[in-house]
Amino acid sequence: MRKSGRTPLMRAKKLEKVLGIGEIYLKLEGANPSGHKYDRISEVLVKDAIANGFKQILVDGSESYIKSVMLFAKLKEIEVKVPLFKQEKWKMSRLDSEVLLDLRDKKGTFSRSQLVDIAEKGNMYLTCEWDLNTIMSHLIFEDMTKECLERMDFKVDTITTKLGFGYTLSSIYSGTIKSWVHEELSELPQLLCGANSSWQDDINEYVRKMHISQIENNGTKKTALGLPDRPTDMVQSIIKIIDETNAEMIDIDEEELKQAVTMLRETEGVIVSRKEAYAMAAFTKKVKQGQLKNGKHLIILNDARSEIEVCEITSFDDKNKADLLDMTRTWLAAYNDSVGETVDAIEKAMKEGFLLIAKRNGEEQGICVIVNMGFENFISTYHLAYIGVKPGNKGRGVASELIGRAIELTDGNLSLHVDLDNKRAKNLYRKMGFDHVYDRMIYNHPMD
């Protein structure tokens, strides 16, 4: 089972009230294991490296990208090396010294263009952040788009993203085109793209600073690189993608980024970095200008996450059984299940279902136990056996986050039980999309 990509698609109802623009859905990519959209491609790249017999990966780029690749390499027990060039003190302070390949003593014109040679000589798989515009990355982000479209019943009026190197934008466009061709979408959504007004200059400066203008594709599986010869070619490539996708570029300044970050945090409890808030800022700018109609809108946020972190517990090494039992029985409302029944559910969830724990600022606030019932069609495959929230969290969204995450992980193939007189719980479940289908009756053994 893939560890990346299982991220929430959050209905932002409070934000909807503020903006008055119909339905708004936030794709929170910060829920990926390392906290960024990069995990989707990093996991597959590591798998590709292993499939092609490599024992080491040479990775370069931003801290977010490097750490994403390192995470999945560690899970697969494959070694990672990161090139250390001059003027890169941040790598020395933020990365372990044993992963650094020190190239600071190289003289003359030595630059990233020679990473290809280093990778070839060392028999290393090479991947760099600035060259993810590949077939592999397109397929992965097309899948993300399809996932969002399906969850939104293929009714989407706008999709807003941040402009990076262009591959996400082109992947989103490809994903929508495929759904349109298959007549799942009746109309193509409008694509909106937030960026700094000086993005072209920024890209050129990035290319110059990183010394990557002369890197060429050597046509082997040992590298994912394939950059143009001149710095301006990268800008031209992105401009071509913008033209082909008919995306509307929206210039965003620092104040608008700051406002977007604040709005998400205060309305929905969603945390996003300022550098990744371009999509949110672009969408709100269009709304305030009165240029968007009521409808269904998707905003993709590369590192956004809920302030309530939902963690999946995969073994009793992560959290011992006694603690899970105590949390479940302490935080649930009064009920009549025995300790044995609760233990049984926890053990089954660990083997065949899953357990979720909600945290705020690192402190545990809620628990959810999901068991796999083993059916495909007879009844829902998964059943929400227990959900409990620590006292003091009423109305703070902990239960909603847990249920929402459970829905994500089960693709909505989920049932639950609720007491007939528990109106508050019933209202919450209805808001989350559950219907009252039937009442459960249990045989009561007669006394001898």
What are 46-91's pLDDT values in tens digits?
Answer: 999 999 999 999 999 999 999 999 999 999 999 999 999 888 889 9
The band of 223, judged by pLDDT with boundaries at 50, 70 and 90, is very low
Quote the pLDDT of residue 333. Answer: 66
Average pLDDT value over all residues in the chain: 87
Strands 22-28 and 100-102: unpaired
Of the listed ranges 113-117, 137-141, 356-360, the one predicted with least confidence: 113-117
Q: In what order do the strands lie in the sheet with 363-372?
A: 308-313, 354-360, 363-372, 382-389, 414-416
CATH topology identical between 9-36+134-212+227-305 and 38-131: yes
Quote the pLDDT of residue 19. Answer: 96
The band of 219, judged by pLDDT with boundaries at 50, 70 and 90, is very low
Q: Which residue has the higher pLDDT, 430 or 91?
A: 91
Q: Which residue has the higher pLDDT, 436 or 325?
A: 325
Task: Please check the confidence at residue 448 and state whether its pLDDT lies above 60.
Answer: no
Task: Please check the confidence at residue 218 and state whether its pLDDT lies above 70.
Answer: no
Dihedral angle, C-alpha 191, 135, 53, 103, nearest 10 °: -70
Q: Which residue has the higher pLDDT, 304 or 400?
A: 304
Could you tell me the sign of the dihedral formed by the alpha carbons of 89, 93, 98, 100, in that order? negative
Share of the chain above pLDDT 90, in %: 54
Task: Please check the confidence at residue 443 and state whether its pLDDT lies above 90.
Answer: no
Quote the pLDDT of residue 396. Answer: 67
Residue-range domain boundaries for the chain:
9-36+134-212+227-305, 38-131, 308-431
Q: Which residue has the higher pLDDT, 1 or 3?
A: 3
Quote the pLDDT of residue 227. Answer: 40
Q: What is the mean pLDDT of residues 166-193?
A: 95
Cα 223 to Cα 57, 116, 141, 408, 439: the distances in Å are 10, 7, 20, 34, 58
DSSP state of 25: E
Where are the alpha helices (H) located in 332-389, listed in sequence order? 339-352
pLDDT per residue over 246-280, tens digit each?
Answer: 999 999 999 999 999 999 999 988 999 999 999 99
Q: What is the mean pLDDT of residues 293-306?
A: 94
Strands 305-306 and 270-271: antiparallel
Considering only the top CATH level, what class is 308-431?
A: alpha beta
pLDDT per residue over 81-126, tens digit each?
Answer: 999 988 888 999 999 999 999 988 876 555 677 888 899 999 999 9
pLDDT per residue over 276-295, tens digit each?
Answer: 999 999 999 999 999 999 99
* Tokens standing for residue 79: 């070694």
The band of 447, judged by pLDDT with boundaries at 50, 70 and 90, is low
* Nearest alpha-carbon partner for 83 in 108, 110, 52, 46: 110
Cα 284 to Cα 194, 256, 278, 287, 363: the distances in Å are 11, 9, 10, 5, 32
**CATH code linked to domain 9-36+134-212+227-305:** 3.40.50.1100
**How far apart, in whole angstroms, are the C-alpha atoms of residue 222 and residue 310?**
37
pLDDT per residue over 313-349, tens digit each?
Answer: 888 888 899 999 999 988 986 666 889 989 999 999 9
Share of the chain above pLDDT 70, in %: 92
What's the maximum distance between 2 C-alpha atoms anywhere in the chain? 94
Say if residues 398 and 358 touch (Cβ distance below 8 Å): yes
**How far apart, in whole angstroms, are the C-alpha atoms of residue 207 and residue 204?**
5
The CATH number fitting domain 38-131, selected from 1.10.1740.10, 3.40.50.1100, 3.30.420.40, 3.30.420.80 = 3.40.50.1100
Say if residues 367 and 356 touch (Cβ distance below 8 Å): yes
Residues whose CB falls within 8 Å of the CB of residue 200, separated by 6 or more in sequence, listed in order: 235, 239
Task: Please check the confidence at residue 405 and state whether its pLDDT lies above 70.
Answer: yes
Q: What is the mean pLDDT of residues 358-370?
A: 89
Q: What is the mean pLDDT of residues 8-17?
A: 88
